[in-house]
Every structure is written in structure tokens, then in C-alpha cells.
A and B are shown apart, each in its own frame.
Chain A
Amino acid sequence: SGSRSGTEVPEQALQERAPIFFNYHEFGERYYADVDARNQLREHDEDHGICMTHFPNVYVARGSPEFETTRIVRVPRRFEVTLDCPYFSTAMPGMEPGAITGEPVFQPFGIFDEDGQLFGYSSASPLARVLSVEKFQEIVITINSYLQNAFYTYSWFNLIDLLLEALSLGLWHPVSKYLWRHPLVHLEDYVQQVNQEQEFKEKGVKIISPRRSGYLSVCFSACYNI
């Protein structure tokens, strides 16, 4: 295990080095309890910090049973490919170029946070336990393509919408709702459809509506404490 937060790197060296992509949602923690000593919170050394790879499920009400049992794995946004639309990392969390390597698969070592969540030493995400890499990539690539279509500046949808809006003095806006669906609504349909799949239902995995998460990250909710 290692740490990316090398803040001691001199400014000059930083400027010369091209940035590397990593999952910026992850963070480290050294004050936690070991899995075999549940109730003993203690400070660990630098090589034994745990890496936070899953987070509270903020998409369900606080204190609800679903909140207690499920956690969120966040797939970060990536910017090398395009800046025209939200584009999500197609690397399985833990396999980004700048990920903290160590155990290649999620292996819990530490217990942290209020509800006794399990974490490992590396960026390896528990998402890989419930979803194959192929399925994961298929989903994110599809989501990205929906977004690319919806945010293409010179699409007929965008241009005609603007033209009609301007000429009709804004009257087009309330009418358009009944005449055509926004391309981003098709993405919502796709996500709902994936959530209905047998595999997802059996494993209790759910993709959070991208609209609900503000297109900030693709969030997978599931019970990862298994």
C-alpha cells in the first residue's frame, strides 16, 4: 500500500509531471479497528492505512433499513477523453492508473465508521465482488454514450430546441415536454432497465439514477459487507 497525497513534492517537479488519473473519492484513514479486534480503535502506521472505497448511501433516507445495509461505490468522472459532457471512468474502481495497488481484490482489514464498515489496504473495490469487469464496463460505456449524444452541441435536438424557443418567444418550452423526450430521459430508462435485470436483483445491486446524482458520479449501491 502507498499514499498519493505526496504534498511534499516541490512545485517545480509537479509542473513538469503530467497528472495521472486516480479515483479522487478514495481517502485514507489510519485510526481504525482491526477486523480481528472489533472494538479496539487505534492508530496504525503509514503502511497500514485503510483505503475508503465505499461510502454512506445518501440516496435513501437516513436511518432507513436500506441505509443501514447498503453502501455506495462511486465511479469518478474522467476528463482525458472529452470535456464536452460528463464522462465516467470505465476502469473498475481500483484499476485506475493511479490506484493504490496492493491486494488485487477487495480484502477487509479494518473496521471504520459508525456502522462498522469493512475496508482494505488498497483501492480494490468491493464492487468487483458483485459485478464482473465486463458487465461493469458495458454499463459505464453505455452510460457514457448516452451522455455524449445528449450533450452534443450541434445535435438536431439542441439546435432546433434553441431555434424554436427563440422564435416562439419562449412558448416552445412548455409545449416541447409533450412533443419530444429529452435525450437524458432515455438514459434514465436505460438505468432502470439494468436495475430490473435478474443478476442485479439477485445480488441487490442498484445503479443510482444519474440524474439524482447530478451526473457527478455513477453510484452503485449494494450490500458490500459480505
Chain B
Amino acid sequence: GRFRTVRCRSNLAIFTGFTVVAPMVLFSIFETGRIWHSRDGYKLLVIFFYYFWAMCLSFFVRTATSDPGILPRNIHLGQLKRNFQIPQEYYSTISLPAPQTIRGDIQAKIELKYCTSCRIWRPPRASHCSTCEACILTHDHHCIWVNNCIGQRNYRYFILFLASAILSSIFLIANCSIHIYHHRNLPSKVPVTILLLIYGGLAIIYPMLLLIYHILMTGRQQTTREFLREANSKNPIFTKIHSIEHNPFDRGNFTANMLSLILQPRGISTICPQERHGDRDWRFVSVADFHSFEKMETPL
């Protein structure tokens, strides 16, 4: 969306973009020409590197700039009275029957919450991101490295970004290793190649760990948010992934679970930034909440 990308630009996303672009620039200057004109015949490896690198950049941009599944605001406004006061009933978490409730597991239930900021009954698996100031469909997490939420509408792009970052690193390592092998007697002649090899080795670690985690989590039918809440932890690394009991989304099969999250249909964006709207459009009206009003008045 238009206004999101402008608002959400930050140094960290630019830094991530830089870490993707930099090795390609160095590789093009110092490697491509030499490899291409050598008679060693591994041009295919170079082509693969460029292909996956382009994929990595493209899906990085797509992950960072696309709508993660932002839900419209103020759809479920209760009343106009008393400055749009939220009714008492809307403050409690309610339980509704899930598919398994009917099949016998009466402890499987759907818990529904009203988002007091967005004024909507939030669907299951959606959650409010305080950075994006919106509820996000099938919210996975807010990723500071791409400066966007990862949710239903960009999860597949995120996974493709991680996978192509890994693949392009692999081809970077492969190309550089072969090149260094040819100069094994005088490695000081290829300093940039050595640098790129180390870079590839380092750049592969984080996306690889993340991808493995996402495969293991989705296989157990969990989003990052659900996993962290279940594990009661802020740091996912070195935390064991357990299945959640009575998870109404569980399909009882690792592959089916994984595919259902990774291939989840994106739907269409419900916020149209291109669409013109009046200043009285309720989606953009800030409904004064008593609590937020109070917060605003406290001196900083």
C-alpha cells in the first residue's frame, strides 16, 4: 500500500536491503566477468546465483511493502453514546464452538476478542500490532528487519524471501569456492572472493534458522505468535516447539498443517490506499477512547 511504505521506512529495513544488494554488486564486479570468460564451464552456477538473488530482492521488497492483511477499523462500533463507549460485554473474551466441539472434543473452542483500538471483533488468529496500529489477519509476527508485519497476505512472500536468501547464499558459496579452488596456490590474489565466501557463510545462518523454525512451527499448526505465547518466551531460538493442546486448527498431520499455513490463500486487500475517501469515512476517524484520552493527557 502507498501510505504504509512511506510511514514504515526505517533504517533496519534499509540495512536488510543493503545486505541483500551488497554481495551482488561485489560479485558482479569481481567474479562474474572472470568466471564467465574462464573455460571451467560453470556458467550455470552463476545464472542460478543471479536468479535466486533477484528472487530474494523481489520478495524482500514484496514482504516489506505489501499489505500483511490489515483489517479495517471501526467496523463493529457499539454505540455513539458517551463518546462511543465500548459496552461491558465487549471487554470479555468469549468462547465459541469450534469444528472439534461438534466432533467430541468439547475443550476445543474458538476464543474471540474485541479489539478496543480497532473496534472490531477480531477473527481467530488475527492480532493487533502496536507498531502498525492495526489488527492483522493470521498474524505471524512484526518483523523489524523488513519493517512490516508478517500475516496472512504476505506470509508466502516471507517464506519465499527466506528460501531464496538461502539458495542465493548457497550459489554464492559454490561460485566463490570453485574460484578460490582455482587459485588455491595464491589465495591472496582473490581477496574479494574470500570475503564473499565468508559473507555467504554468514548470510545463510539467520534465514536458515528462521526457515527451519517456520517449517517446524507450521507443521505443528502454530504461528510465531502462538508459539511464543505457548512457550512463554520472547526468544524463539533454543526453545522447543510443542503442540498446543485442543488447537482447533490442528489437522493432525505435519505436512497438512505446514501446507495449510504456507499456502494459505491471501484473499484481497481490504484497505485500498488508492481509493479516495472523505474525511468522515469511519475507517479513518479516530474514535476517542476514554483510556487513550487519559494516556494522552499525562505529561511525558
Contact = CB atoms under 8 A, between A and B. Distances in A.
A and B form one complex: yes
Contacts of A24: 89, 94, 96, 112, 121
B72 A214 contact: yes
Interface string A154-198: 110011001001100111010000000010110000000000000
B30 interface: no
Contact of A82 (B99, B107, B121): B99
Contacts of B90: 27
B92 to A, nearest CB: 7
Contacts of A136: none
B81 A114 contact: yes
A108 interface: no
B270 A212 contact: yes
A154 B256 CA distance: 11
A153 B123 CA distance: 18
B95 A19 contact: yes
A12 interface: no
B280 A169 contact: no
Contacts of A19: 95-97, 101, 109-110
A contact residues, range: 35 or more
B268 to A, nearest CB: 5
B41 interface: no
B55 A62 contact: no
Nearest to B106: A18
A113 interface: yes
A144 B70 CA distance: 21
Contacts of B299: none
B54 interface: yes
A62 B72 contact: no
B265 A152 contact: yes
A206 interface: no
Nearest to B282: A58
Contact of B98 (A15, A80, A152): A80
B117 interface: no
Given A5-B92, A217-B121, A182 B268 contact: yes
Given A5-B92, A62-B282, 19 more contacts: A5-B89, A24-B112, A55-B78, A77-B123, A79-B248, A82-B99, A83-B98, A86-B123, A150-B267, A166-B55, A169-B54, A169-B55, A170-B58, A170-B62, A214-B270, A216-B72, A216-B75, A216-B76, A217-B121
25 contacts: A5-B88, A19-B110, A27-B87, A55-B76, A56-B77, A61-B278, A74-B76, A77-B121, A79-B97, A79-B99, A82-B99, A83-B99, A84-B260, A113-B80, A113-B81, A153-B265, A184-B267, A211-B268, A214-B270, A215-B267, A215-B270, A216-B71, A216-B121, A216-B123, A217-B121
Interface of B: 51, 54-55, 58-59, 61-62, 71-72, 74-81, 87-90, 92, 94-99, 101-102, 106-107, 109-110, 112, 120-121, 123-124, 156, 160, 248-249, 259-260, 263-265, 267-268, 270, 278, 280-282, 285
Interface of A: 5, 7, 15-22, 24-29, 52, 55-56, 58-59, 61-64, 74, 76-84, 86, 112-115, 150-155, 158-159, 162, 165-166, 169-171, 173, 182, 184-185, 211-217, 219
